[in-house]
Structure 1
């Protein structure tokens, strides 16, 4: 790419296009936050006859409602690969928004007459749409972004996720304060899902298709028009022609590596032990991410805060504050920490700080046993437990909140397929946590916090021995970073030294060539003087 990027490239169109696509993340963040509090509302329980169920029976119903969404997401993530390959990014996102809105409408149509069937079915359908979008939206944004602002635009995806989460955490607090208990009170939170889903649908109508996808389908004229629109430059602009040429060459190279067609990336990954190892590591990080307890807190926050003595509408208020803290931590991660401290250090900090907080909360519940001593006001010990849950969030949000390896560790020609695999694995682990957390609280009590804290301790040696630091490593050197001749704890230093040595050699060769050229020119000058 040319050294100087024209100022026209950083225009409103590329920002607006990326923002429209990342509304998919608002849908995901909202669901992770609102559903747990909605199911806990007395009005919801009364509507579907759940108020007289035993604690164990209600835990099962609650877990089924929450986890039906993740089950749909798991399969949707895999569907995202063929949909993105054959239909493209634009129409894939359009389809995902339609499916999501259909699922949301089904849930809104549920009542005491229909029973929970529409809730279950609607959440599975919503999950299918979200699974597709979770695969395609980050890929689309990365493909349309100018290199200099790619990180910023891709980061909007995480930011939108947190926006959806904050809205989801606060929505039921607002409805309980302002709307009398009844059908309308609980259904509002379900109906609000239609807003981000509808905005993604209408936004997708105006998206321009990814130039890179169009080039991969040999539609160069359409790719040129899309690139002209996104870069705000005429077709004969040097920047546009150079980017088009580089994309054409990159696709040709990828086809030579993976083979043309739908199955090429699959053959490449499954025939390469190194790529399979990277895929395992990227998927395992999602397992460790869920082992922090994040999705237990996200989906069952009222249960979490109730366990330390918070009751009534106060549990919804404390949940809302938790959402704000989580969003602020994610923003700090995006703007500063990830490129300053690197990945491994952040994971160490998150695990060590987070486990201490979890151990404290577990110890408080074990000693004070707030469930056996109910109170309308929170004790000093309970306040300290809530504070440590907030501190845990401060440690988690800028550290384990995002698995960057899923997007950094793989070559471009297989990234769409590996993205589908890693996204599906994330939803699988989230499903496991969402399905079994209520049962864990019934059978383990305070042991749930000890369990998650211990897993966070175990994540530290795992990261040390198996997860290399990707900070400052160009994507072209990922093969070396994950090579068999380096270890995870020193791979970053060794690869950076190799890169520096290669650059030094190139510089020396350039100087030698320049020296030879100077000598040749002097000889020619002397020859001219003799004649």
Structure 2
């Protein structure tokens, strides 16, 4: 679909369960297309120095939209609940923002690479002038795109993209890294909180209205703490954001689960809210924006659309699976066991990211071919050597590292 034309988003509403499910089905299709198209469009249009920040803006404003949804919930929760007008207004209000976005899309430039693929070079140059602002830079990037698209066409000719995504080592490593961060975006536990926050708060002992109000706080924090990542994703990098935030998320989930053993209702509720809010603060600048930014830039040009689509399918597929399984997990394992399950996955994800995930900060899309040409085992051994070095520096001891000099924190 990305090869043919742009996408538009609509959100139909319904008054029965069947109509609502049909509406959600088509909404899910549009969300999947948007999740694939927007990061690719941004990655193709952005210069390397700010590509990460611009690519993650879509995730930031997705968090903004979620926050608006919670605000609408709070605003309409008590509006004629006797005739079920409240939830109709909650759902119906969500059509306003997409209408505004649809109007804004027409004023934005098309992807220059898309124009180049259609041999509309003058249109591509005009788009690059709008995006770069300097004719020389626009001409340079136009030439790079021309050369890369020629190479891409030659590489695509007669090839099975699905097969090559796993058989060619460079593609396989990009898929491995992208699928890992997409998988962990769901198994870090964020969507069980976003989807079922009101249910969690009700289980903690509050009324439904109070639970909706408490959920609003999580939505606000999700948006506010995504804003700093716009700056630090291109200064700190993708790996550090993930490695710093996953342990915090794990601790928060263990904390939330164990708080359900507290007998005092007021204390239990306060600590659960505190744990959920702290979890959202850790998630928003890390595992929130990084996966889609990473997947949009990791794949080589000729397979990027296919690879990004597969990565998005993974995250939304597991999102569906987790949303279906969570109520049963609460009954079977109780809140303590259910939250601990995802806390353990955060620790597993931290280990996998530390040893497997390469850094992509500040690299051109072409330079990333060299980054992913390094084997996973070589990368893991290097990270292990660096870990030993840091531990040695931390404790002031000398650690011999094979193939490198002796590192010491002593002068």
The answer, yes or no, to whether TM exceeds 0.5 is yes
Which of 131, 134, 141 is matched with 1:243 structurally?
A: 141
SS of the aligned residue for 1:165 comes to: helix
Q: Whole-Å Cα distance in 2 between the matches of residues 346 and 288 of structure 1?
A: 14
Q: What is residue 392 of structure 2 aligned with on the other side?
A: none
Q: What is residue 407 of structure 1 aligned with on the other side?
A: 296
User: Are 2:285 and 1:393 aligned?
Assistant: no
CA contact (8 A) 1:308 1:386 kept: no
The 1:445/1:270 distance shift into structure 2, 3 A limit, reads: closer
User: Are 2:199 and 1:303 aligned?
Assistant: yes
CA contact (8 A) 1:258 1:267 kept: no
In the TM superposition, residue 179 of structure 1 has moved relative to its aligned partner by 5.0
CA contact (8 A) 2:79 2:85 kept: no
User: Are 2:156 and 1:258 aligned?
Assistant: yes
CA contact (8 A) 1:352 1:456 kept: yes
CA contact (8 A) 1:344 1:463 kept: yes
User: Are 2:16 and 1:84 aligned?
Assistant: no
TM-score, normalised by the number of residues in structure 2: 0.83
In the TM superposition, residue 453 of structure 1 has moved relative to its aligned partner by 1.4
SS of the aligned residue for 1:93 comes to: coil
Q: How big is each residue's C-alpha offset from its partner over 1:98-122, in whole Å with a ceiling of 9 and x where there is no partner?
A: xxx2xx32x2x32xxxx31101111
Q: What is residue 456 of structure 1 aligned with on the other side?
A: 346
In the TM superposition, residue 171 of structure 1 has moved relative to its aligned partner by 1.3
CA contact (8 A) 1:286 1:429 kept: no
The 1:481/1:264 distance shift into structure 2, 3 A limit, reads: same
Which of 32, 44, 53 is matched with 1:143 structurally?
A: 44
SS of the aligned residue for 2:97 comes to: helix
Q: How big is each residue's C-alpha offset from its partner over 1:368-407, in whole Å with a ceiling of 9 and x where there is no partner?
A: 3x7xxxxxxx512321222122112222222221314312
SS of the aligned residue for 2:230 comes to: helix
Q: Whole-Å Cα distance in 2 between the matches of residues 200 and 189 of structure 1?
A: 19
Q: Whole-Å Cα distance in 1 between the matches of residues 367 and 115 of structure 2?
A: 27
Unaligned runs of 5+ in 1: 1-82, 371-377, 495-531
Which of 211, 222, 245 is matched with 1:326 structurally?
A: 222
In the TM superposition, residue 224 of structure 1 has moved relative to its aligned partner by 3.3
CA contact (8 A) 1:360 1:388 kept: yes
CA contact (8 A) 1:468 1:491 kept: no
Q: Whole-Å Cα distance in 2 between the matches of residues 230 and 457 of structure 1?
A: 41
Aligned residues: 381
The 1:397/1:489 distance shift into structure 2, 3 A limit, reads: farther
Which of 439, 443, 450 is matched with 2:332 structurally?
A: 443
Please give the root-mean-square deviation of Cα atoms over the aligned residues, in Å: 2.7
In the TM superposition, residue 143 of structure 1 has moved relative to its aligned partner by 2.8
In the TM superposition, residue 419 of structure 1 has moved relative to its aligned partner by 0.9
Which of 116, 122, 125 is matched with 1:221 structurally?
A: 122
Q: What is residue 380 of structure 1 aligned with on the other side?
A: 267
TM-score, normalised by the number of residues in structure 1: 0.66
In the TM superposition, residue 215 of structure 1 has moved relative to its aligned partner by 0.8
SS of the aligned residue for 2:379 comes to: coil
Q: What is residue 355 of structure 1 aligned with on the other side?
A: 250
Q: How big is each residue's C-alpha offset from its partner over 1:455-507, in whole Å with a ceiling of 9 and x where there is no partner?
A: 2222222222322333455544434433227223626999xxxxxxxxxxxxx
Q: What is residue 382 of structure 2 aligned with on the other side?
A: 490
CA contact (8 A) 2:165 2:172 kept: yes
Q: Whole-Å Cα distance in 2 between the matches of residues 243 and 458 of structure 1?
A: 41
The 1:199/1:304 distance shift into structure 2, 3 A limit, reads: same
Q: Whole-Å Cα distance in 1 between the matches of residues 81 and 276 of structure 2?
A: 30
The 1:130/1:169 distance shift into structure 2, 3 A limit, reads: same
The 1:342/1:225 distance shift into structure 2, 3 A limit, reads: closer
User: Are 2:209 and 1:313 aligned?
Assistant: yes
Q: How big is each residue's C-alpha offset from its partner over 1:102-158, in whole Å with a ceiling of 9 and x where there is no partner?
A: xx32x2x32xxxx31101111001111111111112222333335554444323212
- Give the structure with higher Rg (CA): 1
SS of the aligned residue for 2:348 comes to: helix
In the TM superposition, residue 251 of structure 1 has moved relative to its aligned partner by 1.1
Q: Whole-Å Cα distance in 2 between the matches of residues 228 and 339 of structure 1?
A: 24
Q: Whole-Å Cα distance in 1 between the matches of residues 166 and 342 of structure 2?
A: 33
SS of the aligned residue for 1:487 comes to: helix
